[in-house]
Amino acid sequence: MNSNIIKRSHFDIIHTITNTSIFKIIKFLDIIFKSYEKIIIIDVGCALGDFSFFLQHLNKFSIGIDPLINYYRKQKNSKLSNYNSLYDVAIDINTEDKLFNITKSKDTSSLYNFNNKNLTTDKCIIDKFYIPIDYLHHITDIIEQRNVKCMTLQLLIEISNLKDDIIHILKVDAQGNDLNVIKSGEIYLKNIMFIVMESNSDTTSTLYENTTKFTEDYEYLKLHNFELITKEILLRDDYDCLYYNKGLISE
């Protein structure tokens, strides 16, 4: 375990950061871990690898997981070569093959179906999930369906020989499956210092069918000794949320 101590009072610096959305969270984590000799990152839904790339720490051990790894690694702006290990799988509550919906944008591809009847391009409609009209088809048009291999976060941690280590950052961008990803590694949550995940507003429908909302995510993590630091708005009805493990932070 790293001997550095992060204090709860250090979190006040997030209010001084002018970046927005996920970039605010990344900047905050950069500052928090500046004095650490090494950090470990598990990036579920890594896509092109931007999250780990923009974390400026010089000594990162990072694992990238995405069922579309083979697509992303061929893109000119791919940053996947910065990861120590890459896994071409989806993380889910069970280890099995599942049908995966691949969208035009690729970034919104998911194990879940879109909640099409409850999506809107009208920002004045406040009970449906809002998508700007210019992005609707790019985000929701499914161009292919294929079976992908799924594994649990627990298994990933164990085969990566990290079960006795502090995992400094678990970032989850699993397009509606974020809480299941976290639940699938439940026995190791005590070893995770920060969790970055997407959540959906409690007051609107969800982008995908049968997925969780913010309060359900929050209550699960609170039950496992995590507390929210910030939630950063994405389109309008979804957030990037940052949680910390109270057992690994000095109060």
Structural domain range at position 197: 8-95+153-245
Query: Given this model, what pLDDT does residue 14 score?
Result: 96
Q: Which amino acid is at 140?
A: T
With left for phi above 0 and alpha for psi between -120 and 50, is residue 164 left, alpha or beta?
Answer: alpha
56-115 confidence digits (pLDDT tens): 898 999 999 999 999 999 999 999 999 999 999 999 999 999 999 999 999 999 999 999
Residue 117 lies in a domain: no
Q: What Cα–Cα distance (Å) separates residue 26 from each residue in 112, 220, 240?
A: 27, 23, 11
Query: Given this model, what pLDDT does residue 3 score?
Result: 46
110-168 confidence digits (pLDDT tens): 999 999 999 999 999 999 999 999 999 999 999 999 999 999 999 999 999 999 999 99
Place of tokens 């709860």: 8
Residue 226 lies in a domain: yes
- pTM, two decimals, is 0.96
Residue 200, strand partner residues: 238
Residue 14 lies in a domain: yes
24-66 confidence digits (pLDDT tens): 999 999 999 999 999 999 999 999 999 999 998 989 999 999 9
Residue 90 lies in a domain: yes
User: Could you tell me if 250 and 2 are in contact, meaning their C-beta atoms sit under 8 angstroms apart?
Assistant: no
**CATH number of 220's domain:** 3.40.50.150
Query: Given this model, what pLDDT does residue 250 score?
Result: 85
Residue 56 lies in a domain: yes
Residue 171 lies in a domain: yes
Residue 45 lies in a domain: yes
Average pLDDT estimate for 176-204: 98
Q: DSSP for 112-130?
A: S-B-GGGEES-TT--SSEE
Measuring CA to CA, which residue among 94, 93, 92, 77 is closest to residue 45?
Answer: 92
Query: Given this model, what pLDDT does residue 4 score?
Result: 67
User: Could you tell me if 242 and 195 are in contact, meaning their C-beta atoms sit under 8 angstroms apart?
Assistant: yes
Q: How many separate domains does the chain show?
A: 1
Query: Given this model, what pLDDT does residue 5 score?
Result: 81
Residue 17 lies in a domain: yes
